[in-house]
Structure formats: C-alpha cells, structure tokens
Amino acid sequence: MKILVVHGPNLNLLGSREPGVYGAATLDLINSSLSALGGELGCTLSFFQSNHEGELVECIHGAVGEVDAIIINPAGLTHTSVVLRDALLATGLRFVEVHLSNIHAREEFRRVSLLADAAVGVICGFGPSSYLLGLRALAAEQ
Ligand code: DQA
C-alpha cells in the first residue's frame, strides 16, 4: 500500500513550536518513525509539508493514481479550509485526519474540522503516535 503523508502549515517548526502543546519531536523524527513502521507494515510512504494552501492542494491533486491513501495533518487549515476539503474530495482518495494535540480540549475554534466528516477516521491527542495510529489503521484495511 502506498500512502502520502501531508503536513500543513507551521508543522515544519515542530520541535521548537509550542513544545508544551506539540511536544519535542521534530517533523523529520515523525517522518522517520512513520517510514520505519511503514516498512514493518508493508507500506511505502511519501511525505510533503507546506505552509501554503495552494501547494497542499497541488500535492493532493498529484496523488491521484500514485498512492492508495493519505494521512493528513491539515494543521490550522483544519478549521478554515473549504479548499483543502474540496481537494481531498476531488481525488476520491481515502484519508485519515490526524492531529498531535487533542483539538477538542483546546480553544473552541479548534473543535471544528472542515475535513473530519469526509475522512475515514480522525485521530488526535496522541502526539506523534496519532500519525502512527493512522498508519496502522490504514494498513489494517489491506
Ligand atoms: C494541529 C492542531 C491545529 O489546531 C493547529 O492549528 C496545528 C496543529 C495538531 O496537530 O495538533 O497547527 O493540527
């Protein structure tokens, strides 16, 4: 199974960004852990991070015919982006939405996700393990 992992805005700063909320793991570390688990589960992973909504949309469009599913942490765009939702729906690809923090235990505006109802599932609050759990969930469908 081929899986694209998409990281949204500001996640390039993981490790130094609000460590009390997002933890100490860097994006590179999260991606390495995913690659290692992907190897165990027979999945091939590719990764993309951008701070630009349009680039994320282009990446998602480009995934059609290339991957079987997407794991996405849309970051702040979770709560605002009709465009990202439309891009994911346009591809028809199955996707899992993940978040490091528990978005339901934070500010009111973070409780709304414009993507969640279109996702296979949503995993939040487990730090980097949210991504790993998302990968396990997709791999279990094989
Ligand atoms: C986040 C939660 C979002 O609300 C926030 O804007 C982020 C990261 C998370 O992984 O916990 O950038 O998606």
The domain spanning residue 107 has which CATH number? 3.40.50.9100
Res 113: pLDDT: 98
How do 94-99 and 121-124 pair as beta strands? parallel
Q: CB-based contacts of 1: which residues, under 8 Å, 6+ apart? A: 42, 43, 44, 68, 69, 138, 139, 142
Of all atoms in ligand 1, which is nearest to the CA of residue 99?
10
- Pocket probe for ligand 1: among 103, 104, 112, 132, the residue whose CB has the most ligand atoms within 8 Å is 103
Question: Quick check: is 131 catalytic?
Answer: no
Q: pLDDT digit string (tens) for 81-112? A: 999 999 999 999 999 999 999 999 999 999 99
pLDDT tens-digit series, residues 30-80: 999 999 999 999 999 999 999 999 999 999 999 999 999 999 999 999 999
Three-class HEC string of the chain: CEEEEEECCCHHHCCCCCHHHHCCCCHHHHHHHHHHHHHHHCCEEEEEECCCHHHHHHHHHHCCCCCCEEEEECHHHHHCCHHHHHHHHHHCCEEEEEECCCHHHCCHHHHCCCCHHHCCEEEECCCCHHHHHHHHHHHCCC
Residues at CB less than 6 angstroms from ligand 1: 10, 73, 75-76, 78, 99-101, 103, 110
Put simply, whether the predicted model's pTM sits higher than 0.75 gets the answer: yes
- The residue assigned the tokens 């994006």 is 27
Per-residue pLDDT at 134 exceeds 80: yes
Q: Give the range of the structural domain holding residue 93, as residue numbers without chain letter.
A: 2-140
Q: Which of 127, 137, 24, 23 is nearest to 71 (CA)?
A: 137
Closest by CA position to 22, among listed 33, 10, 37: 10
Which of 81, 99, 100, 111 to mutate to test ligand 1, by most ligand atoms within 8 A of the CB atom?
99
To the query of whether residue 52 is one of the catalytic residues in this protein, the response is: no
Please give the number of the atom of ligand 1 that sits closest to the Cα of 124.
11
Q: Number of folded domains in the chain?
A: 1
